[in-house]
Amino acid sequence: MMITLYGIKNCDTVKKARKWLEQNNVEYTFHDFRDNGMDSVPMDSWLKEFGWEQVLNRRSTSWRALDDAQKETMDNSTAKQLAMEIPTLIKRPVMTHNGQTLFGFKADSYADFVQ
């Protein structure tokens, strides 16, 4: 099964992940949240499996820009709605492979994940 990497092309962490995949000759498809849109992004399954706390990056500028009421009442439904409107809220990159999903980038995790 093909590896898909989701993210935003100008994100530094996404750049590191893409570089690692290319240096390790790992074939993958890149889905840019902005360029390719959010329609085919499996947000429902990510939220169901991991919960909004892991899917959204609570250290991001986008998160800090939300008002306190939005943060305090966050749930999976609200997270999906906001992430579809503001994809920079999603922790990135997100890699999917063989029905598994990995958020963020750590070289060690990637090495184990793509085996």
Could you give the residue numbers annotated as active site?
A: 11
**How many other β-carbons are positioned within 10 Å of the β-carbon of residue 33?**
23
**How many other β-carbons are positioned within 10 Å of the β-carbon of residue 84?**
16
* SS3 label, residue 29: strand
DSSP state for residue 92 in the 8-state scheme: S
Q: Say how many CA atoms lie within 13 Å of 74 toward its Cβ.
A: 21
- Cα separations in angstroms, 79 against 49, 69, 90, 110: 14, 13, 9, 26
